[in-house]
Structure 1
Amino acid sequence: MEIVSLPAGATLHPLVLPARADAADAGEFHELARVRNAVYRELTGRDEQDRSPAELLPLLRSRTERTTYVWTVQQGGEVVGRAVVDVPHDAGSRVVIATIEMLPRVWGQGIGTAVLPHVEAIARDHGRSVIQNWTEQQASDGPRIEAPTGFGSVPRDHVARFLQHSGFGLEQVYRVSHLALSARIDAHVDALLSDARAASAGYRLVHWTTPTPAARIDDYAWLKSRMSTDAPSAGLDTDEEKWDARRVIEMEERVAQMGQTLLVVAAEHIETGRLSAFTELGIGSDHTATTHQNDTLVLKEHRGHRLGMVLKCEALRLWRDLMPESTRVITYNAEENRPMLSINEAIGFHAIAYEGAWKKELR
């Protein structure tokens, strides 16, 4: 790929990732990380998505299950945006996952619109016909776009208008929820956990911080694979992801490279000895920052035993001892995932924003 001229004196530069975040040739990558964080802060009004260059680098590298393309957008020698395309390697996939992010001060100059054909070219080169995108937007009291699921909406703001003008349709809305940790919440979580345990008598809880114990890794990989099929996905093209022990190990190596701590709490079905549900809590090297509730899943055949409540409460209880300086938790859930939202609401999470999942069919 070559440097491409764009409107308003901007240029699109393919980025070769540095070997290390502190390498001598990492300057452009550092600028990409800075602009990425600035864009997220301006779009959301929050800093939970900030990544240092050392944290971001492992996320942008190609890996066994996907190929990743990264560009910087520059104007007057300054990085003002980025584009990222992930090409999954799942068998039969029609999809690429793409992000085009520009600093708001260069919006309206036609730069993002000019970048999109280069994203589409990558998709076509890989035989893909669908581009999908997840974008969180600022809260707004203005006009909104309703999700076709009938659950949730997003503001019809500049971001949404750009996506619609570019041929994307809104498919699903995620609720962004926040929990402020406190002694009151600790007592509330303990009470919820005690009440829910009675319904989960056939299960025992296990937990670990990564790396995953060898005796658990195959079951954990199976649970991770079911996230792609058992969680609500509306009208999105969702590939069935393949997870095995190697993929878990590679994921946990990235977690270590990023300086993160990841806690996994799982439910073991006592009769079979197999893991049937799990949840994850993670945080970066700054232990005073916001904790992220990552994947949570109860396998379909094990639902109805209040395992979601038990897992989330146990994870929060353990986390307060592990990371006492983190006083906030954030999580994302599909608006139509009422069972999980009900658990979050009962614990004390409240909605702070919404994220749209968008899809474009290439012609």
Structure 2
Amino acid sequence: MTSTVEIGQLWIPDSLDADDAKDFLAAVEVSRRVRMQIWGTDDLAYTPLEKLLELGDPYERQVILVARVDGRIVGTVDIALPLADNMDLAEFTLDILPEFQRRGVGRQLLEAAEHFAKSEGRTMIMVDTNHPAESLRGGAEGQLVPGSGLGFVPLASREVDFARRTGYTLQHIEQFSSCALPLDSKLVAELEAEAEDANAGRYRLHHWTDRCPEQWLEAVAALENAAGEVVSEGSETAEAEQQQLVFDAAVLRQAEDAAVAQGRRTVVTAVEHVASGRIVGLTTIGVLAQRQDVVFQDDTIVLQEHRGNKLGLLIKVANMQRLSEQFPDARVIYTWNAPENRYLLTVNKQLGFTTAGVTGLWQKELPNMGPRVTSSE
């Protein structure tokens, strides 16, 4: 006899110690187990406190739906609704316990999430599928290529089959890479010498953690705005094509404050073109509040007219060194790049990054329900 699947919205407790936190903890554990299944590690899983802090993000509203079988939470879908830009977008993260996959739970959760997104006026849905490196072997006949860009996902994947059957179209691929920390000191010396020889004293490095110095605030905001015009790390592919938040000094400060409020640390190295006094490149690494052994490469931006001077290499080596000094427990750094971003992929290879897998970004357009009508009663 098939058990009934019950779908409902997850209650978010005020704290993890609250009497009503049990379901929240169970939902976070579902996501952790799914990442263990995919990657063989829970490096990419939120701790319960990290997830609770993330739900306070002022730039997006998050709603979590859960699927229960016999009262047990066996699946979750995290619905992220941007609040500052891309107001037609909803991003889903769907997780089903391994033992409950291929039983219709995922389809019911996804349908419920789509209905919720439509009720919120969102018409474009993005979901991702994740594929470890060992699943990418084989010939072209077993590959599904995206609508734009390079790369592929394996046709044999359960996730790929599910996305296609539920009406999603593969749009882009992101290459997922990792690098052990700290970097070897001999390698660091060699790469620093190579980068310094190339820039010949024409550039100067600046460093900070969490908050940009006031003197560079406007310059960094301008650089962040230029990220959509250059090939950058951490903001490419489908998201780079959507309407982006326009940065100014106030918005940058708000973003910094939001990160600090969530307990996150940000290690930054910027590069100044000495002759013009302009900041022309920037790289950031994010450190989570609860897991400082696992860190994430965020934006790396180098303006196009300053390419060819090894600036990407220069700032990334310096920033990874600063990271290890400030956060000595960091043992691995992860990053995502578009496969066509040869510039940063080459830099990452020099640093010792290896491919851990790929993420497929899928899209589905929902029919517009029209404007929502609110009652004055």
TM bucket (normalised to shorter chain) is: 0.7 to 0.9
Residue of structure 1 aligned with 2:340, choices 336, 339, 342: 336
- After TM superposition, which residue ranges in structure 1, 4 or more long, deviate above 6 angstroms? none
Q: Deviations over 1:260-283 (max 9, x none)?
A: 332111112334434222111233
Determine the structure 2 residue equivalent to 1:111: 105
Query: Given the superposition, is the C-alpha separation of residues 17 and 220 from structure 1 closer, same or farther in structure 2, using an over 3 Å criterion?
Result: farther
**Deviation of the 1:315 alpha carbon:** 0.8
**Deviation of the 1:76 alpha carbon:** 1.5
Where do 1:214-225 residues align within 5 Å? 214-225=214-225
Where do 1:185-264 residues align within 5 Å? 185-200=184-199, 201-228=201-228, 230-231=230-231, 232-233=236-237, 238-264=242-268
Note if 1:291 corresponds to 2:295: yes
Determine the structure 2 residue equivalent to 1:354: 358
Q: Deviations over 1:289-339 (max 9, x none)?
A: 222212211233443332211111111222222223323222111111111
Determine the structure 1 residue equivalent to 2:39: 44
Task: Give the Cα–Cα distance (whole angstroms) in 2 for the partners of residues 102 and 33 of structure 1.
Answer: 11
The answer to whether the 8 A contact 1:289-1:326 is kept is yes
Query: Given the superposition, is the C-alpha separation of residues 285 and 147 from structure 1 closer, same or farther in structure 2, using an over 3 Å criterion?
Result: same
Determine the structure 2 residue equivalent to 1:146: 145
**Deviation of the 1:177 alpha carbon:** 1.3
Task: Give the Cα–Cα distance (whole angstroms) in 2 for the partners of residues 245 and 119 of structure 1.
Answer: 36
* TM-score, with structure 2 as normaliser: 0.84
Residue of structure 2 aligned with 1:55, choices 43, 50, 58: 50
Task: Give the Cα–Cα distance (whole angstroms) in 2 for the partners of residues 130 and 25 of structure 1.
Answer: 33
Residue of structure 2 aligned with 1:102, choices 93, 96, 102: 96
Task: Give the Cα–Cα distance (whole angstroms) in 1 for the partners of residues 225 and 52 of structure 2.
Answer: 24
The answer to whether the 8 A contact 2:178-2:333 is kept is yes
Q: Deviations over 1:11-66 (max 9, x none)?
A: 12212422333333222211121111111111222222122111111222352x33
Query: Given the superposition, is the C-alpha separation of residues 39 and 227 from structure 1 closer, same or farther in structure 2, using an over 3 Å criterion?
Result: farther
AA partner of residue 58 (structure 1): L
Where do 1:15-30 residues align within 5 Å? 15-30=10-25
**Deviation of the 1:233 alpha carbon:** 1.9
The answer to whether the 8 A contact 1:85-1:119 is kept is yes
Determine the structure 1 residue equivalent to 2:285: 281
Q: Secondary structure at 2:300's aligned position in 1?
A: strand
AA partner of residue 144 (structure 2): I
AA partner of residue 39 (structure 1): V
Where do 1:316-327 residues align within 5 Å? 316-327=320-331
The answer to whether the 8 A contact 1:181-1:329 is kept is yes
Q: Secondary structure at 1:38's aligned position in 2?
A: helix
Task: Give the Cα–Cα distance (whole angstroms) in 2 for the partners of residues 77 and 227 of structure 1.
Answer: 46
Residue of structure 1 aligned with 2:64, choices 49, 70, 79: 70
11-20 or 133-142, which deviates more: 133-142
Task: Give the Cα–Cα distance (whole angstroms) in 2 for the partners of residues 355 and 326 of structure 1.
Answer: 23
The answer to whether the 8 A contact 2:7-2:67 is kept is yes
Task: Give the Cα–Cα distance (whole angstroms) in 2 for the partners of residues 225 and 39 of structure 1.
Answer: 35
* TM-score, with structure 1 as normaliser: 0.87
The answer to whether the 8 A contact 1:8-1:111 is kept is no
The answer to whether the 8 A contact 1:67-1:86 is kept is yes
Among the aligned pairs, what percent are the same residue? 27
AA partner of residue 81 (structure 2): V
Q: Secondary structure at 2:162's aligned position in 1?
A: helix
Query: Given the superposition, is the C-alpha separation of residues 70 and 337 from structure 1 closer, same or farther in structure 2, using an over 3 Å criterion?
Result: same
Determine the structure 2 residue equivalent to 1:85: 79
Any unmatched runs of 5+ in structure 2? Answer: 368-377
After superposition, the CA RMSD in angstroms is 2.6
The answer to whether the 8 A contact 2:56-2:262 is kept is no
Q: Secondary structure at 1:115's aligned position in 2?
A: helix
Task: Give the Cα–Cα distance (whole angstroms) in 2 for the partners of residues 328 and 91 of structure 1.
Answer: 32
